[in-house]
Amino acid sequence: MAVFKEAGHLSTEEMQKIAKEINFSETTFILSNEPTEKGYPVRIFTPGFTEKDVNVDAPPLFTDVFWLGYMHEMTMHGLAGYSISFSVSTRKDIRDHYFQCNIDAMGIYNKSIEILLSKGIYQRSPYFSTSQRSQSVTEIGYVMDLFGDKRPLNSMEAGNIFFNLKKSIAAKALVIGFKQVIKDKDIHKFMDNCLRTVNKNINIFSSILQYENLKPPQLLDNEITNSDVAPFSDKLMVFHTGFLFNLAATYYAAAMVTSMRIDVAGHCDASIFRDLKTISSFGRIMIKKGWIEKLPEADDRKELPDN
């Protein structure tokens, strides 16, 4: 990490240029030596993504309907991630940052769901009627019955399946669109693998809902335009795709441990395995392209005496 003191006279463009030339994992500019109530004013730059990773002149690759639903889905990830980051932060300025991030994400969530509802395009989870009296599970077959007729899905199982399907369906449309504009052969092959994996998961869990006469979410494949101009860099498209598969594995794990039907838990387990294979391919291509940043590592105590 590089640190520059008394950097308040530098413009944002000058800071970005310095950070790019140094090419460290993090470049920090201390704007003033006089601390405020929240600490020292700083600007931090990392070599992640820049304006160059977005082609603002590219024609639309997805329709407004897709982006509206996608923004709504992504705010759920943001809320979960910001909450975890807030809970593991110690510095007050960092906690204040993630606190505000949560507030902003909740605002986007509320706005997006209100627009989806007003346009009549919000896809609701399956409806379950409720009993007037609570009932206890009295037979082990409620969980372990592998043969014969299976009991109906309960509300938690169906809700998790529907929740994961919506995210898989959005990811599928995104991959189809990205695959349409990517020219690199290695990345194109990676997107093909992603598409096979997500199609397998969608088909399995949609069939489970349909067998129960529950309607799965609608596909978004028709919300992709015929543009062949990439709106984002290959690096951004690969990173975002891999990010979605990492998230999918965590959500399938949550669905697996909360499912009381062993066949559903087994399908979640298999989906995690398929996603992990895709995540492995994602890691290899990120390393091959030099797009993955090395995180700080613990000191190797065995090596220290030799240095």
3 state SS of 59: coil
Closest CA to 201 of 122, 283, 141, 256: 256
pLDDT at 25: 60
Looking at mean pLDDT, say which of 12-16, 22-26, 186-190 comes out highest.
Answer: 186-190
- Give how far Cα 222 sits from Cα of 14, 113, 115, 263, 307, Å: 44, 21, 20, 32, 59
Please return the burial class of 220, using the count of CB atoms within 10 Å of its CB with bins 0-12, 13-18 and 19+: buried
pLDDT, tens digit (0-9, with 9 covering 90-100), for 246-259: 999 999 999 999 99
Which amino acid is present at 56?
V
In angstroms, the CA 16 to CA 8 distance is: 14
- Beta-bridge mates of residue 54: 232
pTM assigned to the model = 0.83
Whether the Cβ atoms of residue 212 and residue 152 lie closer than 8 Å to each other: yes
pLDDT, tens digit (0-9, with 9 covering 90-100), for 58-93: 999 999 999 999 999 999 999 999 999 999 999 887
pLDDT at 136: 85
| Residues 170-180, mean pLDDT to the nearest whole number | 97
N-term to C-term CA, the chain: 21
pLDDT value at 121 more than 80: yes
pLDDT at 281: 96
**Average pLDDT over the chain, rounded to an integer:** 89
